[in-house]
Amino acid sequence: MSGSQRLLIITRKIETSSFRQRIEPYIEHLTARGIDCEVQELKQGRGRRAQLKAACNYLGVWIHKKTLTRMDAFRLRRNAKKVIYEFDDAIVFRSGSESPDPHPLRLKRFRRTIGLANLVIAGNEVLADLARDYGAQDVAVIPTGLDTSRYAPKAHEHETDQIRLVWIGADGMLKQLREFTEMLDSISWELPDVILRVIADDELITETLPVENLSWSRKEEVRMLNECDIGIAPLPDTPFAQGQCAFNVLQYMAAGLPVVSSPIGANAEYVADYESGFLAYDDRHWVDSISQLVYDAELRTTQGQAGRLRACDEFDFSVLAPKVCDAIMGVLESAD
């Protein structure tokens, strides 16, 4: 295959959930359209210089999440025929900051990167607006997807001795859940038969709510979710959280679980209030929403089915693949 039919994909690290969810599933679809994808982790020092110089041997470069230094951008500008930039976090903000102002260095590198890109692919509308605000000319919104066939829809039992809430996510995001421990404890005071399962590589400790801390495993995550009854997705109202792509919400939906979520960012878009779950605006609303689901198995079933249907119809890899490929092929095939 000639160099003109090759696409270089550069990522910081292949073994990340973002790469697995946003890049890897679409490589075979691009291959089927005649584009040979070569994935490389970004190198350091002289290796990076050579790596970016070699961009001239490809039809284009697809950069996953990494923002560029001045020298990185200079080398890509000189050598890359086309540049596609992909991101799924509000990376101009620090994750723990409540400041409405972007971090100056992060913003500088973000502006530099999107200014070089022929196309920016954003994980949701919040991120797309962020890219447009800082100079992106062409932005495509592609939500994070998943393989819904991996998830067995939950069969909600009408009689059960215990209801299991679940939170799943990266250990770095667990600090967001910790901000809601007072609310979680209030659940246990009013709903003593409720426990919380946390699926992560770190642990959550509360004062009164019983918590099962289970280490995340790709092999076991579907089973661990299916043993639960209600998915929860509390988020603080911060600029970083507003840009998150709500992947755990999509997992709950694919597993047929009703979802109770904060009305923040993509979470508010994906959870249809009173249809596939509830949007909880304060602690009292959280407790009341979970209480409704705890005592009504039929409601858990209907909301879980609604979420599952939407996950299959809108967020399955098979649905998103044509959109991803069309966006990328449109750039690679366009005239300079």
DSSP per-residue string spanning 150-202: GSPPP---SS-S-EEEEEE--GGGHHHHHTTHHHHHHHHHH-TTEEEEEESSS
> Which pTM does this prediction carry?
0.93
Q: Compute the distance between CA of residue 199 and CA of residue 197 in angstroms, rounded to an integer.
A: 6
- Cα–Cα distance between 312 and 148 in angstroms, integer? 6
pLDDT band per the 50, 70, 90 thresholds, residue 335? low
Task: Give the helix/strand (H/E) hosting 11.
Answer: strand 6-11
- Rounded CA-CA distance 124/149 in Å is 23
Is 157 a residue whose pLDDT tops 80? no
According to the model, what pLDDT value does residue 158 have? 74
Q: Please state, rounded to an integer, the average pLDDT across all residues of the chain.
A: 94
| Residue 1, CA distances (Å) to 5, 22, 59 in order | 7, 25, 12
Domains of the chain: 3-145+317-332 (3.40.50.2000), 148-315 (3.40.50.2000)
The confidence score (pLDDT) of residue 170 equals 84
Q: Which residue has the tokens 């101009």?
A: 92
pLDDT in the model for residue 253:
98
Q: How confident is the model at residue 336 (pLDDT cuts 50, 70, 90)?
A: low
Residue 270 has pLDDT above 80, yes or no: yes
**For position 139, what pLDDT does the model report?**
97
pLDDT in tens, 190-218: 999 999 999 999 999 999 999 999 999 99
| Neighbour-count burial for 97-132, b at 16+ CB within 10 Å, e otherwise | eeeeebeeeebebbbbbbebbbbbbbbbebbbebbe
Percent of the chain at pLDDT above 70? 98
| pLDDT-based confidence at residue 95 (cuts at 50, 70, 90) | confident
The pLDDT-based confidence of 172 (bands split at 50, 70, 90) is confident
Contact between 203 and 213 under an 8 Å Cβ cutoff? The reply is yes
Instruction: Measure the CA–CA gap between 284 and 260, rounded to whole angstroms.
Output: 13
Predicted confidence (pLDDT) per residue in 25-56, tens digit:
999 999 999 999 999 999 998 899 999 999 99
How high is the pLDDT of residue 2?
44
List, for residues 109-149, the tens digit of each pLDDT value.
999 999 999 999 999 999 999 999 999 989 999 999 999 99
Q: Which pLDDT band holds residue 79 (cuts at 50, 70, 90)?
A: very high
State mean pLDDT over 55-77: 95
- Residue pair 162/188 in contact by the 8 Å Cβ criterion: no
Q: Does the structure show a pLDDT above 50 at 1? A: no
Distance CA 88, CA 111 (A): 15
